[in-house]
Structure 1
Amino acid sequence: MKWTTANLKSPNYTESHEIYVGTSTGTFKRFLPALEDKPFAQRNLYDLNEIDKDDRVTALAFGNDTSEIFIGRAKQNVQMHSLHTDKVEKTINFKFAPIVGFGSFDDYLVAGCSNGQVQRLSLENSSNETEILISSGDDMSHLRQCPTDRNLVATGGKGRQNNLKVFDMAVEGKQVFTSKNLPNDFLQLEVAVWDSDVGFIDSPHILATCSRHGYVRMYDTRKQRRPVQCYATEDLMSFATLVANGNYIYTGTTMGAMKAFDIRRMKTFVHTYKGFTGAISDVTLDSTGKYLASASLDRYVRIHHVDSTVLLYQCYVKSKATRVLIRQSTENTNCVLTAETAEDVEQVESSNKLNIEKQSLCVDKEYEDLFENMQTVREKEDAADSDTETKSGEVTKKNTKAGAKRKSDKQLDKTKKRKSENK
């Protein structure tokens, strides 16, 4: 499919997905691409008047199942949104903000903050009192939970003191692993470290990190502290986010490029996903691992096919998309749109009409009159043809007159000749 900035949906995309997007203006939206009539309709799950525009969404994560979503913001409040009731069931106030990642196990919610503090809260406790378990440094970029062993969380950040660390939250935040930097370079200078995102690769022992300094590394906690495989480039490729599944690592860059790496041979990337015009802020996979959803600062949410790299779905979000989640829909997506969704669609259509009217008002009248009075190419051709016909007609008339004159002269000569013979 060709690159375009318009909303599009491939006819080959038939999956029943629900997409949840958090934006830089604090809005939280839902998309249903499987809707036949309105596949690009977006519904704001919260009243826009109740949202602080400075309270951007900084983290999204499912709870113990996909029926609830935790929403972390630039401020200290965290919301637990229930997908059954379609409203906020609980609001939690943490001691620090912004939140950069969530983890949930048993009845506890774990949140990592940008200042390096990891906090834990009992969801059954009505007092909402949080406890600070550990400090992983002073500048945390992301916190991820292990999908196979939910007691483990990994953190990464900027600087050597904030490198990759793994903690066991069931044992009061015990540190079970910390990474070690690569050896010094040929000038005996320390290699710069910035783990902008971390992730587990289908195992509690194998992890991957990506960096704003242009490297992707893979660690095995059972073998050594240094990375077992590494991809690095001298090109200006700054990785901002990643997600891992099976033998592949999918990364997004700040330059609007998405790459896939094979952990069995990480000398170069194996896939490139196109269609982006802005920095990629978040990537995630669906439950099958076949569809890759991404949020971008160019205000679009996209879905690519993992193997064919084809862009299947693209929709304009109206705000800079910062976080995205995807899940299989449990509803009948062919049902009629709700009233709120219909209102959103009407707002989009009315805004499009206003834009068209504004464009029409901005037209230069003198410039348009110039083009209206200008002779078209067809008219010039017709005029030229008529001139040619006129000229050819005049030539024909002249030739006819000349022929008649010659004929009359011949007859006069014959008459004179007869008269002379008779004499």
Structure 2
Amino acid sequence: MKWTTANIKHANYTAKHELYVGTHTGSFKHLVPGSEKTPHGQSNLSELGSLDKESRVTSLAFGNEAETEILLGRAKNAVELLSFAEGGTSRKTVSFSSAPIVGLARYNDKLIAGIGNGQIQTLQLEVDEESEPVVITTGNQIDHLRQCAQVRSVVATGGKERQNNLKVYDLCSDAKQVFSSKNLPNDYLQLEVPVWDSDIGFVDGPSVLATCSRTGYIRLYDTRKQRRPVACFASEEHGMSFTTLVARGNFIYSGTTMGALKAFDTRRMKTHVHTYKGFTGGISDLHLDSTGRYLSSASLDRYVRIHDSESTVLLYQCYVKSKATKILIRQAKNESQVSEEDEREVQLDVEDSLKKSKRIKATPVDDEYENLFDQMPTVGDSEDEPAETNATQSKPKLKRKSVNQSLKPKKKKN
């Protein structure tokens, strides 16, 4: 499909999905691409009046395996827990001692938050009174915190510089550190290879992890074998600065600051195997659905997209009016789920278009001007042409040259 900035939906995209999108302005939006009536309709799940400069959405994750709870973190120390039950939507706000929130996870009755200053803070949710969070120091800075979907007690952190490299913690064993990565050997000039783990992803289990970097590399680790990466991709191209990553099976999907989304095969990491097109801004977040076939992405060009991870076809694209920073995709619990606000917005758009068409049709007509044209003879009519009606016979006929004859240049006499 060609590059376009319009809202599109591929004819072959029939899956019933819904998207949750966090933006740079702090708004939290809900979209239902599987809706037949309003596939590009948007409803806001946050109170716009309470947003400020520190309301930017910096973390978004599901709180349980059923994907009925969403954890929303912002640039400030507040975390929102949204539960989508059959009876309705419930919201709860929890505060940590530091900010910004760069990663969220939930294990049993504990809420785990990764803080930008290098801390992992844990809070008990079932306690009535507000308690002080348990703090684990991983370094002086982290960029992201990820939770393993298969073993939810395992989390991983990564950040900039060697002291903040990839680390894995097991929350069951009193938050014990079970793995710490080791950098590659020095280069041919005996200089240290720069480390910047901008995002982390678990590859179908707690033992195999993948990291991407702003310095242009993707590394694959196996905690059962060695501390150094078992496979690595390094690019010297300008603009290959990876910002986000998601992994599943034998494939790693990573986006860059220049709007490039590429897929890598863990069995041969020398080069990428797929490239996904359609982006005009840096990619800020990626998320796969439960089947692993549909790859959703949030971009700073204010669009959210869904690609087919196998065929790389752009299936869905929607403009969300703000810079999209985080995204989640899940199977729609109710296939006919369309919010009243979405229907109202679509109805207003239809009414506006009808009003504009009526306004155009209601343009006043000058009768004298129209009669003048009715009485004028047609250019190019001959004198021998029979008259059709008596009214036309009474009109005086004028000799006129045709348009083609008037445009012919005159011949010069010798």
Determine if contact 1:97/1:114 at 8 Å carries over to the other structure: yes
Percent identity of paired positions between Structure 1 and Structure 2:
59
Instruction: Look at both structures and tell me which one has the larger radius of gyration over its CA atoms.
Output: 1
Structure 2: unaligned runs, 5 residues or longer:
355-401
Q: Secondary structure of the equivalent of 1:96?
A: coil
Indicate the residue corresponding to 1:148 in structure 2: 150
The 3 A distance-change label for structure 1 pair 148 and 339 is closer
Determine if contact 2:215/2:242 at 8 Å carries over to the other structure: yes
Structure 1: unaligned runs, 5 residues or longer:
354-381, 396-423
Indicate the residue corresponding to 1:127 in structure 2: 129
In the alignment, the residues of structure 1 paired with residue 254 and residue 84 of structure 2 have an alpha-carbon distance, to the nearest angstrom, of 28
Residue 162 (str. 1) matches residue 182 (str. 2): no
In the alignment, the residues of structure 2 paired with residue 46 and residue 348 of structure 1 have an alpha-carbon distance, to the nearest angstrom, of 23
In the alignment, the residues of structure 1 paired with residue 113 and residue 41 of structure 2 have an alpha-carbon distance, to the nearest angstrom, of 32
In the alignment, the residues of structure 1 paired with residue 311 and residue 256 of structure 2 have an alpha-carbon distance, to the nearest angstrom, of 20
**Greater Cα offset, 105-114 or 128-137:** 128-137
Determine if contact 1:45/1:86 at 8 Å carries over to the other structure: no
Q: Secondary structure of the equivalent of 2:143?
A: strand
Residue 185 (str. 1) matches residue 187 (str. 2): yes
Amino acid at match of 1:67: T
**Greater Cα offset, 130-139 or 171-180:** 130-139
Q: Secondary structure of the equivalent of 2:301?
A: coil
Q: Secondary structure of the equivalent of 2:26?
A: coil
RMSD over aligned Cα atoms: 2.4
Residue 50 (str. 1) matches residue 50 (str. 2): yes
Measured against aligned partners, the alpha-carbon deviations of 1:297-341 in whole angstroms (never above 9, x if no partner) come to 0000000000000000000000000000000001132x5x43322
In the alignment, the residues of structure 2 paired with residue 351 and residue 4 of structure 1 have an alpha-carbon distance, to the nearest angstrom, of 25
In the alignment, the residues of structure 2 paired with residue 238 and residue 347 of structure 1 have an alpha-carbon distance, to the nearest angstrom, of 42
Determine if contact 1:119/1:130 at 8 Å carries over to the other structure: no
Measured against aligned partners, the alpha-carbon deviations of 1:32-65 in whole angstroms (never above 9, x if no partner) come to 0111121100000123223335311100111123
In the alignment, the residues of structure 2 paired with residue 118 and residue 261 of structure 1 have an alpha-carbon distance, to the nearest angstrom, of 30
In the alignment, the residues of structure 2 paired with residue 224 and residue 99 of structure 1 have an alpha-carbon distance, to the nearest angstrom, of 30
The 3 A distance-change label for structure 1 pair 350 and 162 is farther
Amino acid at match of 2:297: S
The 3 A distance-change label for structure 1 pair 82 and 183 is same
- Which of 235, 238, 251 is residue 237 of structure 2 equivalent to? 235
Indicate the residue corresponding to 1:206 in structure 2: 208
Amino acid at match of 1:31: L
- Which of 372, 383, 405 is residue 403 of structure 2 equivalent to? 383
Note the C-alpha offset of 1:263: 0.2
Determine if contact 2:123/2:134 at 8 Å carries over to the other structure: no
In the alignment, the residues of structure 2 paired with residue 26 and residue 345 of structure 1 have an alpha-carbon distance, to the nearest angstrom, of 24
**Greater Cα offset, 340-349 or 90-99:** 340-349
In the alignment, the residues of structure 1 paired with residue 5 and residue 207 of structure 2 have an alpha-carbon distance, to the nearest angstrom, of 41
Measured against aligned partners, the alpha-carbon deviations of 1:235-265 in whole angstroms (never above 9, x if no partner) come to 0200000000000000010110000000000
Q: Secondary structure of the equivalent of 2:163?
A: helix
The 3 A distance-change label for structure 1 pair 273 and 60 is same
- Which of 306, 311, 315 is residue 314 of structure 2 equivalent to? 311
Note the C-alpha offset of 1:129: 2.0
Q: How do 1:101-120 residues align onto structure 2 when only pairs under 5 Å count?
A: 101-120=103-122
Determine if contact 2:43/2:341 at 8 Å carries over to the other structure: yes
Q: Secondary structure of the equivalent of 1:191?
A: coil
Residue 71 (str. 1) matches residue 72 (str. 2): yes
Indicate the residue corresponding to 1:280 in structure 2: 283
Amino acid at match of 1:159: E
Determine if contact 1:121/1:128 at 8 Å carries over to the other structure: no
In the alignment, the residues of structure 1 paired with residue 303 and residue 173 of structure 2 have an alpha-carbon distance, to the nearest angstrom, of 41
In the alignment, the residues of structure 1 paired with residue 265 and residue 353 of structure 2 have an alpha-carbon distance, to the nearest angstrom, of 43
Aligned length in residues: 365
In the alignment, the residues of structure 1 paired with residue 288 and residue 280 of structure 2 have an alpha-carbon distance, to the nearest angstrom, of 21
- Which of 308, 323, 327 is residue 326 of structure 2 equivalent to? 323
Residue 253 (str. 1) matches residue 256 (str. 2): yes
Determine if contact 2:281/2:299 at 8 Å carries over to the other structure: yes
**Greater Cα offset, 224-233 or 82-91:** 82-91
Indicate the residue corresponding to 2:95 in structure 1: 93
Q: How do 1:263-302 residues align onto structure 2 when only pairs under 5 Å count?
A: 263-302=266-305
The 3 A distance-change label for structure 1 pair 164 and 352 is farther
**Greater Cα offset, 167-176 or 2-11:** 167-176
